Structure 1
Amino acid sequence: MSDYDALKLENQLCFPLYACAKEITRRYKPFLDRIGLTYTQYITMMVLWEKGELSVKELGESLYLDSGTLTPLLKRLEQKGLLTRKRSERDERSLEVRITKEGTKLRDLALTIPRDMGDCIKLTREEFRTLYSLLYKTLYSIENSMED
């Protein structure tokens, strides 16, 4: 094994992660087109469907997105009537995001998306659970190594 083997694409963990993420996001597109959302808008709405209201900072932490990405995204979702943004009464520096009735209604239209996506990815339940677990373990490991 040469020193250069470390530079082969086939030996990189990052490449299959990148390629899978790109392909999975691409597979979401036709399902998300039906409800008028992009993938990033969809995952934002998923957090709002769960939480109802939270700060932009908390939303960014949940989605691993910075404010430069979130601000235009939230503006578009607000223009669609799916959420509202307003300054926090407790802390004027904080911007609060709240789902609207229209945003809540959209959740019903999105109900089939996880099943539709499951049909696109041919993994057993056990393989899915293993992959999910390993991905989150990797994510938490990266987060913890950055804090050191």
Structure 2
Amino acid sequence: MSQALEAARAALREVTDPEIPVVTIEELGILRELREDAGGVEVVITPTYSGCPAMDQIEDDVRAALARAGLQGRVSTRLAPAWTTDWITPAAREKLRAYGIAPPSHCAEGAKPLRFMPPRAQVAVACPRCGSTNTTEISRFGSTACKSLHRCLDCLEPFDHFKPY
């Protein structure tokens, strides 16, 4: 890996998700690829879903991180293959849990489409605060469209859950 790509990767390790500041875009799997050409470094990102309102802010944060590192660069968006929660690192899953967001389960056969109707058989979602699986979904859409709102029936705390897809 070239010195410019190494410097870019180091700079981008500091770029967090604007909606969940405890995890980086690298840990969430949003950062897809770094390339180098005559124009500098190209950073390839993939949104967590097609309507993600944070993507403009993420692009700005990536450009700012590259500039702070003294690098010329640009940001491009790749939509295919679509982002999947399977790209979230184990460390990020634990950070989400500690932050109060139940991390998604892994998809059994890779990426699955987002369902707008609840599946017939609900998978138990563990409360990120007390660990109980005695939880219920309050709303299919939580603080953002990629999360659902749940409540623990044991500790009575509400929490977000990343939808697996």
TM-score, scaled relative to structure 2 = 0.27
Give the structure with the higher percent strand.
Answer: 2
Which structure has the greater CA radius of gyration?
1
Give the structure with the higher percent helix.
Answer: 1
